[in-house]
Structure 1
């Protein structure tokens, strides 16, 4: 069990649970490159032999290789854990927090408000960390993009009239790799998760919701309009939702386009005096000082100095409420 680190210059030992595309193409290479801040001491994946193959390439001994998350958390010998599995992370996050680990959690935090409440209860007072007891950071990397930081620093939320987000989302593509892919488990369709719009918000548009919260300086987004169209079979379609801000409005248009050439996202923040324009391409092709790298450095600051993250349990819970509000605005029962 970890008791936390009080030295901001310390190398943080991390265990990585879930070795899918994002782990292989983003987090493992970055953690390795940031060796003055992190050292990977444990890998976990449910595919037999897969974690062991990666561990050999990273110089991790067999004692740090696991095929189930519970054994990983029981083994310990790390200060923090990265939960990079698919689906809800509530149960693993709660268990890790109870054991005193700091947690980096990919989206979504949870699928329901009840699940999120379990994480919140587990995180209060668990180990050293931020003054509020926050020990969990959500992987909303766009909040840490340098252009977003610059926009936030120059914006007065009281002058924001409108934030407009447009996302063109083809099937995900990743850089070429020699690592063997691992198939993701099929999605679970229960309760609100049965609606593709709910899944689209929690699995993808949550990044846009998080950006709006940050740019507008609000804790949560209300939704007073939503529409969806274009879904085909099991594939999602187009989703639009909008609502009020303290001094204006926001709108999100999210389109899943199976035949579109590449991912594209644009954000326009219209204030009383000017417009801030932000653009994002395929997030998995990134350079130095990317949002991914900056968020890992922010996680290091959380673990070692107690610096609160831009998005934690409270923000992940707020995003679930936003997804539920989208369903209500669509006229669908949650």
Structure 2
């Protein structure tokens, strides 16, 4: 732990879309809290380009994230690499470095168990669920507490209209995919991912695709359920379906079940590549009204999330809207700074991240029970 208010020297591993569109610009914006001192990516040209842009000295530009972490010279690390973050996060925690880890935290519960052992040693870890830090979400949580808390919730409905990445990122003007990533290293990492997926859910292609949708995207909605009501108590219905025979490779997903207090939840993640824009709606219904959150594209910085409060007033229905342009990703960085400098607990640490992995495996197991798909690995038990 460093002194409160200190500027943190941060190293960033993985320079893909989320780092280029969100994390690096915001770390630069919050130069009062962070200094970017090291970068790592498999692409030499991307490391060079972004190293120049963000003033990282050539000696601290890496094509090996492992070496970046072991070389030290930083106060904390941000992991935005693809695939599981279990191995790199463990390496950082062993080195005593606090971690801000993009989801998924890990593919397997075995990885999260190792992280829990290391995390008990002192260095903290925050999983990057920025929606938990959205001002509109915080306001919804406050209003729910005023109503009496989670036990007042009757049902939670979630709908994600998942537009294609090109439609979510038109505004960002990002450089095209790097063409200088070593094929041998890509093959090695792909092999690691395959082994971890086998260990998590087995070899069934449908189960593996479903699991990756869950841990890479639906996990945001699981994090909001945990914040408002607690993690799902049961997974009862799971369905996947294609848009059309020649539709996208990833299906749409529907999940439903019971929440800890007896309320019901339903999540519909609709893969719509040609939909005009990303949109996510999370609605909490209670006996006297509703709290409805509408999220825009996560890459569109400072676009407001809208909270609509529905209740009764004067014998009729009242609708009041709350909006804030305070960026959720920026609030997440502020919270990470507080974790590193003051020991403030994150909203999602290792235990909570493991809970989302566990729920995702429960969804896959139920998928197998309903479809006859052969589920293996941890999900089978």
1:81 paired residue number: 77
Give the 5 Å matches for 1:192-271.
192=201, 194=205, 195=207, 196-216=209-229, 218-219=230-231, 221-230=233-242, 235-245=249-259, 246-271=261-286
1:123 paired residue number: 119
Per-residue displacement from partner, 1:125-154 (whole Å, max 9, x unpaired)? 134xxxxxxx11011111111110000011
2:161 paired residue number: 168
Per-residue displacement from partner, 1:32-84 (whole Å, max 9, x unpaired)? 00000111000111112321221112111112111101110121111000000
Q: Structure 2 CA distance, aligned partners of 1:182 and 1:223?
A: 40
Q: Is 2:347 aligned against 1:310? A: yes
5+ residue gaps, structure 1: 128-134
2:298 paired residue number: 283
The normalised TM-score by structure 1 is 0.91
Q: What secondary structure sits across from 1:165 in the alignment?
A: strand
Which of 133, 136, 139 is the aligned partner of 1:150?
A: 139
1:301 paired residue number: 338
From the CA coordinates, give the structure whose radius of gyration is larger: 2
Greater shift after overlay, 285-294 or 191-200?
A: 191-200
Q: Is 2:24 aligned against 1:9? A: no
Q: Aligned-pair distance for 1:182?
A: 3.7
Q: Structure 2 CA distance, aligned partners of 1:301 and 1:45?
A: 27
Q: Structure 2 CA distance, aligned partners of 1:60 and 1:259?
A: 38
Q: Is the 2:225–2:232 Cα contact (8 Å) retained in structure 1?
A: no
Q: Structure 1 CA distance, aligned partners of 2:232 and 2:162?
A: 24
Q: Is the 1:95–1:122 Cα contact (8 Å) retained in structure 2?
A: no
Q: Structure 2 CA distance, aligned partners of 1:328 and 1:306?
A: 37
1:323 paired residue number: 360
Give the 5 Å matches for 1:54-65.
54-65=50-61
Q: Structure 2 CA distance, aligned partners of 1:145 and 1:169?
A: 19
Per-residue displacement from partner, 1:228-247 (whole Å, max 9, x unpaired)? 11176771111111121214
Q: Structure 2 CA distance, aligned partners of 1:326 and 1:240?
A: 10
Q: Structure 1 CA distance, aligned partners of 2:361 and 2:235?
A: 9
Per-residue displacement from partner, 1:277-330 (whole Å, max 9, x unpaired)? 100111111215211111111101110111111111111111111111111221
Q: Structure 1 CA distance, aligned partners of 2:151 and 2:46?
A: 51
Q: Structure 2 CA distance, aligned partners of 1:290 and 1:247?
A: 33
Give the length in aligned residue pairs: 322
Q: Is the 2:222–2:231 Cα contact (8 Å) retained in structure 1?
A: no
Say what the alpha-carbon RMSD is for the aligned residues: 1.9
Higher helix share: 2
Question: Cα distance 1:110–1:74, how it changes in 2: closer, same or farther (>3 A)?
Answer: same
Q: Is the 1:98–1:126 Cα contact (8 Å) retained in structure 2?
A: no
2:319 paired residue number: none
